[in-house]
């Protein structure tokens, strides 16, 4: 199967975990992005060190690491300016809203503070980022030769979770995590709203559940390893089309209920 071929990608939440895994996976594609932007809270942290070690080997281009706090509109605006300097009139093809946080909780222990903090990062952050990068996404969608909806043309991918599915309500006995579930359910509604509004401009909008990723030191303790998740997510992105707009998928390529 051919890999994901896309000219420019902005990936948020690259300080570690899935974000860093997706960054490496994109660079390992048969045709890696010409412009790969890693948005993180610490540009000199893991991504910066990985650049110097194993992300930047030739002839694969090095990702550009930018400070981007998705809860801060000024930080997002600054990132937009830096991306525009690189991509010019070609615009941005793919925005992956990956930044996320959680607070362990139950219905008995959940607090307004937790709800507010998690919602701000998991739901408002992707909204603000999508709004700010819309002009660049529209420019990519309107570029000559791009006709069909795809991640190669122009797309917003919101990294969600099956825990945000109201119909499935998975793993309730294992982890209630009210603030996280509610924020991801809201993110899924945001995806649908983005699809309804931006679809007419040729911008594909989809929610993706990457699975419960198992840290390397706990191999076998969870349903999916980082490598499996990254491989599955990137294969899925390569296959998404206009019929996928405003839908919810998992890393296996299976459609999920809202």
Any domain includes 219: yes
pLDDT of 147: 79
Split at pLDDT 50, 70, 90, the class of 3 is confident
User: Is the pLDDT at 212 greater than 50, yes or no?
Assistant: yes
Any domain includes 20: yes
Residue in the block written with tokens 């706990």? 218
Cis peptide before 76 (omega within 30 of 0): no
- pTM, full prediction: 0.91
246 dihedral zone (left: phi>0; alpha: psi -120 to 50; beta): left
pLDDT of 52: 42
Any domain includes 16: yes
Q: Which helix (H) or strand (E) holds 224?
A: strand 224-225
Any domain includes 188: yes
| CATH number of the CATH domain containing 107 | 3.40.50.720
Query: Residue 241: which residues within 8 A CB-CB, separation 6 or more?
Result: 148, 149, 150, 204
pLDDT digit string (tens) for 129-161? 999 999 999 999 998 666 799 999 999 999 999
Any domain includes 64: yes
For residue 9, what are the β-bridge partners?
36, 94
- The stretch 168-191 carries a mean pLDDT of 92
* Separation of alpha carbons 163 and 185, rounded Å: 8
Alpha-helical regions (H) of 109-150:
112-119, 125-141
Contact 203, 137 (CB under 8 A): yes
Any domain includes 1: no
Q: Which of 117-126, 137-146, 208-217, 249-258 has the lowest mean pLDDT?
A: 208-217
Written as six digits, the tokens of 69 are: 């706090």
| Structural domain that includes position 78 | 8-255
* Separation of alpha carbons 12 and 51, rounded Å: 16
pLDDT digit string (tens) for 55-110? 544 445 578 888 889 999 999 999 999 999 999 999 999 999 999 999 999 999 99
Q: How many domains does the chain have?
A: 1
pLDDT of 1: 45
Radius of gyration (C-alpha) of the chain in whole angstroms: 17
Any domain includes 75: yes
């Amino acid at each position: 199967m051919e890999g994901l071929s896309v000219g420019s990608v902005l990936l948020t939440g690259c300080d570690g975990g899935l974000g860093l895994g997706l960054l490496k996976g994109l660079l390992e594609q048969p045709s890696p992005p010409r412009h790969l932007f890693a948005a993180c809270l610490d540009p000199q942290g893991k991504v910066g060190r990985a650049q110097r070690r194993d992300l930047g080997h030739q002839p694969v281009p090095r990702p550009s690491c930018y400070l981007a706090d998705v809860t801060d509109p000024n930080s997002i605006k600054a990132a937009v300016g830096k991306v525009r300097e690189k991509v010019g009139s070609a615009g941005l093809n793919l925005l992956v809203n990956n930044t996320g946080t959680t607070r362990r909780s139950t219905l008995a222990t959940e607090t307004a503070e937790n709800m507010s903090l998690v919602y701000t990062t998991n739901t408002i952050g992707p909204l603000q980022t999508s709004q700010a990068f819309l002009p660049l996404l529209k420019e990519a969608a309107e570029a000559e030769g791009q006709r069909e909806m795809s991640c190669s043309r122009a797309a917003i991918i919101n990294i969600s979770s099956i825990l945000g599915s109201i119909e499935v309500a998975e793993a309730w006995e294992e982890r209630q995590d009210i603030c996280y579930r509610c924020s991801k359910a809201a993110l899924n509604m945001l995806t649908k709203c983005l699809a309804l509004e931006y679809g007419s401009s040729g911008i594909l909008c989809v929610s993706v559940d990457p699975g419960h990723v198992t840290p390397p030191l706990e191999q076998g303790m969870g349903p999916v390893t980082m490598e499996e998740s990254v491989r599955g997510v990137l294969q899925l992105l390569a296959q998404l089309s206009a019929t996928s707009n405003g839908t919810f998928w998992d890393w296996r390529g299976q459609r999920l209920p809202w």
